[in-house]
Chain A
Amino acid sequence: MSIEEMNDGLVGRGNREGAALFREWFAELHETAHRGGPAAYVFVMGSMNEILKTFDLPVVFPEISSLQTAVRHSAHELLEVAEDHGYSPDICGYVKADVAVQIRGGKHPMGDLPRPALSVLTNACNTYIKWAEIWERMYGTPMVTIDIPGTREGGGQTWSGNGDFEADRRYVEVQIRELIGTCEEVTGTRFDIDRFRETLGHANTMTRSWKRLLELNAARPSVFNALTDGTVYLGVANGFRGTEAGARYFERLVEEMEYKVANGIGQSIEEKYRLIFVGVPCYPIFRRFNELFTDWGGTFVSSTYLWFASGGFNRGFEYDLDDPIASMAEGSLISVRDGMDSMFHQDRVAMDMIEELGVDGVVYHPIKSCRTVSTGLADGRRHLTEQTGISSLFIESDMMDRRVVSEAQMKNRIDAFFEGLASRRKPALAGREG
């Protein structure tokens, strides 16, 4: 088989299959909505999908369905509906888009969404709690909080065997057992521990693959765009977490990326500057936003988004199938905590990425909608600059609200950033030549 023929089959397969899985997922939700079947509303940081899939519950990730409205250019209408309902322009756009979808009876650009039979949330983002309270009031459905204590102080994580860690783990385990009880009530189905082991096994395959995927992008040239391709991978990682389809997808994705690394096949542009992205993408102009960087030969080789929005999959925690519930508690604690660390202590994450991935610049994108991610970015950037002297760009906009996205201003800043990168590189090159 020629390289061209292999390329035809392999290169780009992850994006094609990811898109197909997305369509399947939303078709299932549409069908559930019309059948009146139960569905769980969950969030990307600590979805507990391993448990929900054990009960065959379809899952709605409102963060993902909301961002889809921005990518599909219908978010602004939904934001207006929610604001007419009393919600402030200054709160999370994901919440408002979802509220509007609920007010409209679940009508969504990708199909109808079912109502929640229960919602499951962690405290990884406080807005999760406020958001679920809205559904609780709208529908009177159970709201289950899984409170996962995070790192208390930068660099101060504790691990298995430490008394403080064990106290946190016990707390999470009690809550997971309570969630199982609620799922039994909602679905009328007894918890099947062997089925649970199966979902954990699939999740293990996925997290192993996810970790490998991130490592593979250390290649030069990098093999996937952490911003655009990464968003597709994130969708599958969340929606299909703990499923056979998800596990298969990621094994095949790793195969594709390993092939690209082996054959020196990079992203679709010539890689001149290797960048990392810190924050949440600008979905209202998603494609254009990326082009503002790729036009200069800038490629995103990683992002904190791939860490926290995967619920800490990057950590690579694999469940012990012999002790599944206790292990799920430990894994949730470690992974979700890691997700939180990559937001609150992003400077540490960025420092590691710079070293491991050979990064030329850091792009910070704080957004109006998400204070969890954005509040510490300016300070983190100051700290990172002091520690490493690396070039960085700080641009503010939003992930949903096009009213605060100014493409022209953004372009000016991005152009200036690349001009700076280029001028920094010139003396270095001149030095080498001399």
Chain B
Amino acid sequence: MTPPAPSTTTDRVFPEWRGKSLDDALLECRDQVESADFQTVARWREAGGLVAGHFQVAFPEEIVHAAGMLPFKVRGAPVEPNLADSHFGSYLCSILKTSLELALSGRVPMEMFISHPICDAARNLAAIWGRNFDHPCQILYLPQNPNSAGSIDYLRHEYDRLRRLAEEVSGREITDEALVNSIVVFNENRRLLRELYEIKREQPWLIAAEDAYALVALAGMMPREEHNELLSTLLPRIRERDARPEDRIRVVFEGGFCEQPPFDLIRMLGRTVYLVDDDLLIGLRWLTGDVPLEGDPLRNLAWAYIERSSYSPVQHDLRKPKERMLLERIEGAGADAAILAAAKMCEPGLEEQVTYTHALDEAGIAYFMSEFEENMTSFSQLEMQVETFVENLLFA
């Protein structure tokens, strides 16, 4: 195999937050996430790094990380799909188009692109991208029958297939040792993200909804070692903040597993309620505990996906009925209500909304239903509706 390019993981792709006050550091984080330029990825590439794009939701980032590549979460962007639009028909969600736009426009060049059969629309992406780019564009078939006795063996093999592909693209052999090292980095990252969500649940007044979101989203666009540094520096400072709780209702946001609501929508919600838990970018937090380090690393990753993972409308698991999982999320966060959102034209999200509403009606939990699109720019009417919903709860 060709000797690998020097690792760029020690170079910094996001230095702007360093040496700044907490508020200014968070402002820098928000700016990075709000921008459609993905500057962190551009800097990674300028330093000679390779990029493995992976579409929502979950992805074993450790495998491409072990090849020295940057796993980049392809999650759409607030851009007009000028080039991508003609590649799609009507009745489709926005994230499909803006994700392709990022690549067609050259904003985010990639060396490989992986999508998953998460929904009827997204499972077309590998074929569409494959017709438009020379680099590998593939589907990673994550198991849709995690209840089968064969699912872990199957997934272990599928991960091995991904390992071989990443080796081919990167020119770097992926040893078990390299995989274990990557798992250590990602275990630490997941631990820090769990800590962030612990703060959201227990002391939501310490961090604004949009700041928490920005901190999570950065994980998908910068090296995890550097993201770990960011979180381990900022989280203690967030905990030390001198802020007092306000009289706001505590709300769980559900519906952000794939297409992301506009940043301003999250900001608007954060002004009105405490967002104490959510499924925003749940793929970055898909594994709910540490991946074991002893034994076969690929099998450990496969085991964790099947046995230690979160839930979303795009994975069926008999052990995790979504409505029960949502009720657990609401209870676990001590929430008073839920916002049940769905991206426009998102079939799984819209279908799950029906189930959720029936379950919440039965449990007597208040909810607010809405659809969103990543490119929405006007929120005044939505804000008024949310405020009315909140007032009804506060003064009921």
Which of A's residues lie within 8 Å of B, judged by CB? 85-88, 90-92, 95, 123, 125-127, 129-130, 133-134, 137, 143, 145-147, 149-154, 156, 163-164, 167-168, 170-171, 173-175, 178, 343-345, 347, 366-368, 370-372, 374-380, 382-383, 394, 396
Chain B residue contacts of A152, Cβ below 8 A: 126, 138-141, 161
B89 adjacent to chain A (CB < 8 Å) = yes
Which of B's residues lie within 8 Å of A, judged by CB? 86-92, 96, 117-121, 123-124, 126-128, 130-132, 136-141, 143-145, 147-151, 153-154, 157-158, 161, 313-314, 316, 318, 321, 342, 344-345, 347-348, 350-355, 357-358
Which among A87, A143, A379, A382 has the greatest number of chain B C-beta atoms within 10 A?
A379
Min CB–CB distance B162 → chain A (angstroms) = 10
A146 close to B145 (CB less than 8 A): yes
Chain B residue contacts of A368, Cβ below 8 A: 90-91
Chain B residue contacts of A396, Cβ below 8 A: 89-91
Min CB–CB distance B174 → chain A (angstroms) = 17
Q: A378-B88, A396-B89 are in contact. Are A347 and B131 (CB under 8 A)?
A: yes
Q: A88-B350, A379-B131 are in contact. Are A167 and B157 (CB under 8 A)?
A: yes
Bound-complex Cα distance A173 to B150 (A): 9
A126 close to B150 (CB less than 8 A): no
A85 close to B88 (CB less than 8 A): no
A85 close to B354 (CB less than 8 A): yes
A379 close to B92 (CB less than 8 A): no
Bound-complex Cα distance A380 to B345 (A): 21
Q: Which residue of B lies closest to A366 (CB)?
A: B89
Chain B residue contacts of A143, Cβ below 8 A: 318
Bound-complex Cα distance A123 to B145 (A): 9
Q: A127-B347, A133-B316, A371-B119 are in contact. Are A174 and B96 (CB under 8 A)?
A: no
Q: Which residue of A lies closest to B352 (CB)?
A: A130
Bound-complex Cα distance A168 to B153 (A): 10
Bound-complex Cα distance A394 to B86 (A): 12
Contacting residue for B136 out of A123, A130, A153, A366, CB 8 A: A153
Chain B residue contacts of A95, Cβ below 8 A: 351
Min CB–CB distance A345 → chain B (angstroms) = 5
Q: Which residue of B lies closest to A166 (CB)?
A: B157
Bound-complex Cα distance A367 to B120 (A): 13
A91 close to B351 (CB less than 8 A): yes
Bound-complex Cα distance A153 to B353 (A): 32
Contacting residue for A130 out of B126, B143, B351, B357, CB 8 A: B351
Bound-complex Cα distance A87 to B369 (A): 13
A-B contacts, 28 of them at CB < 8 A, read: A86-B353, A86-B357, A87-B351, A90-B91, A90-B345, A91-B351, A126-B117, A126-B118, A126-B123, A127-B120, A130-B313, A145-B147, A145-B148, A150-B141, A152-B161, A167-B153, A167-B157, A175-B148, A175-B150, A343-B124, A345-B127, A368-B90, A368-B91, A371-B347, A372-B124, A379-B131, A380-B131, A382-B87
A129 close to B354 (CB less than 8 A): no
A171 close to B131 (CB less than 8 A): no
Chain A residue contacts of B141, Cβ below 8 A: 149-150, 152
Chain B residue contacts of A366, Cβ below 8 A: 89-91
B157 close to A164 (CB less than 8 A): yes
Q: A153-B136, A371-B92, A371-B120 are in contact. Are A376 and B127 (CB under 8 A)?
A: yes
Q: Which residue of B lies closest to A92 (CB)?
A: B347
Bound-complex Cα distance A371 to B122 (A): 9
Bound-complex Cα distance A90 to B157 (A): 37
A170 close to B161 (CB less than 8 A): no
Chain A residue contacts of B132, Cβ below 8 A: 379
Bound-complex Cα distance A138 to B395 (A): 36
Which among A130, A164, A167, A168 has the greatest number of chain B C-beta atoms within 10 A?
A130
Identify 8 new A-B residue pairs, CB closer than 8 A, beyond the known A344-B124, A378-B88. A88-B350, A143-B318, A151-B139, A152-B138, A171-B148, A371-B120, A375-B96, A378-B87
Chain B residue contacts of A92, Cβ below 8 A: 347
